[in-house]
Structure 1
């Protein structure tokens, strides 16, 4: 019995020890799994963060010229709003000038009628209260009495009309002065709006200047911007190739009345008044410190100068183009195309027929440029030609 009890106790101890060991082992495995789970979560977070950084980098890489265009769109919007307010100010000026002329005329009329009223009052004062009766009683006959009565009635009516006209002129004068004050109040509001918009324009211009400086000074950004500009240039080439194919297909059809002649070299009108700052061919880019093969010329002009069509033609493109700003392309139906870029405003629409020298836009500083310029290309088919050989010699 004693041996059995001792054996039982020994077995119980063994079982207890094994259970404890098993529990320790299970806890260790759970801890290890938990640690691995946390490590996996951290790894997933790191992967997600890297992915976000890669996405941001991709967006930044793809949005250099888009960011520039966004600034240009803001600037154009504010500039147009300012021009609209300026037109309203000019209209208010004209309105105030018209009211001033009306007031001046009324003042003269009031002075004349006031002098006439004062003259009548002096006469009545000199004649006294019985002056009316004296005139009637001085009649020699009934006929004379009737004539005197009619005369006095006419004088009385004239005096009454004079007073009524005087009062009407005074009322008109007061109304005109109220209108003038209202117009002046409107003018003050417009001027405040103009000051706000000019401040915003200045702010956006500074922001664009900083943006361009950053692009040009950072080598990686500069290279990316040039690559994007090349993509935009390729897009223009593709568009012109498509247009040229359409033109050739149209040659099989009967000629359209009024088809434009090819023109003579050195006889085309200039698209804008200004000075050429960048020429056709291999030129140093005005923004980047590198040489590029330019397919057109750049003309410095005053902001808002009118852009003119160099030949009659059809508008085939009138919209934003990354790096070039607001762009207009004309098909001249004679194998030539012309392109006008960096505009601040487009004054035509796609499909519109324009004549030579017709205003189609206004110059500006949209796109990859730091000053008010017009970038002008002339294409014979899809081949870029030197515009200087075709424009009128200066």
Structure 2
């Protein structure tokens, strides 16, 4: 568009100069008419150029709004997925509590049944001896001491019966309370599952809206240059984050660095898939531009588990335009690995990670229409080629 307008301007100027030379031989009136006509044409071109420029600005403004909406949806997806993860943990905790409660209830019911059987036997014994008199039973003893002992034993038996009845009442009350608590826990689980389903529906709608917005953006105008600029800014921010993290490290980094260096070519793959964009400078034939990829992009199935390449500590979890939800792991010796475009994050800051441990799952974020894991490996601020370190 700009080339066409520039060529049109040159043509107008050339024509204007040619007409001016010819007009020297014409009358002043004819010369004024030609100049006036050319000026009208030039003004028309200027107006058209201005309209085109304004239209480009409008499109750029629309693109910015679309991108803001897209990133807002992605951030909502990240928050909803984290909320769903917490709900799952609550359901697991409640189910464990439910099992313990059911076990305790079964024990109490069994104990109550045992006491009821004992009491039933006592009642049968009393019924069969309905004319039994403790006093006569004592008087019928061979001597006074035996009679006193019989009265004492009978009083002990009465106290035991009363104690048995009290304990049975307590057990009954405990069972009622436990059944009520059991019902309450079950209702909590039902409500949490319903909430999880609601959040899952919200996520589904958000994903649909994200895809629709992404298609609208691509129909309106290619945002390749903006993505490149955004990528540069993201790299600077990530470098800034790592620089802050580096400031907290100690002299032990030298030994840690030597240990990690021995893992070159032996590190686990972060996800199962294929590399669709390699490390370093890549020429985009469509836009005739060269971009620099700070890591590698691995295409994988949606929801595929993302694993830690080596042992380390989770030092940063956040969301960033162009990266989506991402995790940074400190492996010691100023070596860091970064995993971006995550859907569900299953680790927390400060958590110690072992090689192969699941960090989260692959998602669709940024301008990619496919599930892609963006993976970086750095030593300090230096970007390393991950392909040279993986198995």
The reply to whether TM is greater than 0.5 is: yes
**1:308 maps to which residue?**
308
Q: What are the residue-to-residue correspondences of 1:274-313 with 2, within 5 Å?
A: 274-280=272-278, 294=293, 295-300=295-300, 303=303, 305-308=305-308, 310=310, 312=312
Q: Alignment partner of 1:171: what SS? A: helix
Match of 1:22 in 2: none
- Cα 1:194–1:304, aligned 2, differ >3 Å: closer, same or farther? farther
- Partners in 1 of 2:201 and 2:252 — Cα distance? 53
Deviation, 1:130, is 2.6
DSSP 3-state at the match of 1:268 = coil
- Residue aligning to 1:322: 321
For 1:339, the equivalent position in structure 2 comes to 338
**2:268 touches 2:356 (CA, 8 Å); kept in 1?**
no
1:189 to 180, 188, 191: 191
State the alpha-carbon separation in 2 of the partners of residues 360 and 85 from structure 1. Answer: 19
| Structure 2: runs of 5+ lacking an equivalent | 1-51
For the residues of structure 2 that align with 1:273 and 1:130, how far apart are their CA atoms?
84
**Residue 140 of structure 1: how far off its partner (Å):** 0.9
- Residue from 231, 234, 239 that aligns with 2:232: 234
1:323: Cα distance to partner?
2.2
- 1:307·1:361 contact (CA, 8 Å) conserved in 2? yes
- What corresponds to 1:265 in structure 2? 264
Mapped to 1, the partners of 2:123 and 2:314 lie a distance apart of: 76
Q: CA deviation at 1:129?
A: 3.5
Equivalent-residue separation in structure 1 for 2:196 and 2:202 (angstroms): 10
Secondary structure (helix, strand or coil) at the match of 1:326 reads: strand
CA distance in 2, matches of 1:142, 1:246: 94
* Aligned mates of 1:187, 1:313 — CA distance in 2: 33
Give the drift of 1:169.
0.7
**Alpha-carbon separation, structure 2, partners of 1:73 and 1:202:** 14
Deviation per residue, 1:99-133 (Å, 9 max, x gap): 21111111111111111111000000111133434
Computed over aligned residues only, the root mean square deviation of the Cα atoms, in angstroms, reads 4.1
Change (3 A) 1:130 1:185: same
Secondary structure of residue in 2 paired with 1:129: coil
Paired residue secondary structure (2:257)? coil
- Bigger radius of gyration, 1 or 2? 1
Structure 2 residue aligned with 1:374: 373
Match of 1:363? Answer: 361
